Amino acid sequence: MKIEDIRGLTTDQLGEELLKLKKEQFNLRFQAATGQMEKTHRVNEVRKDIARIKTVLRAKAAAA
């Protein structure tokens, strides 16, 4: 997900997206532990997307 897309979302949408990504991160960790992971690069992508969303949420909270 690109930062421009993230900045265009509302706070509620960012919260929903964050929850979705955390669930995906959990599932990816579970797949890695059981040896079923196919897309190993997805772990890093999800982690970075979570960080981007948290950064934008923090900036929006500081601006308000």
Given this model, what pLDDT does residue 64 score?
Answer: 84
pLDDT of residue 1: 84
pTM of the model: 0.92
Pick the CATH number of 3-63 from 3.30.870.10, 2.60.120.10, 1.10.287.310, 3.30.470.20: 1.10.287.310
| pLDDT score of 17 | 97
**One digit per residue, pLDDT tens: the chain, 64 residues?**
899 999 999 999 999 999 999 999 999 999 999 999 999 999 999 999 999 999 999 999 999 8
Under a CB-based contact definition with an 8 Å cutoff, are residues 47 and 25 in contact?
A: yes
The candidate with the shortest Cα–Cα distance to 9, out of 52, 64, 62, 43, is 52
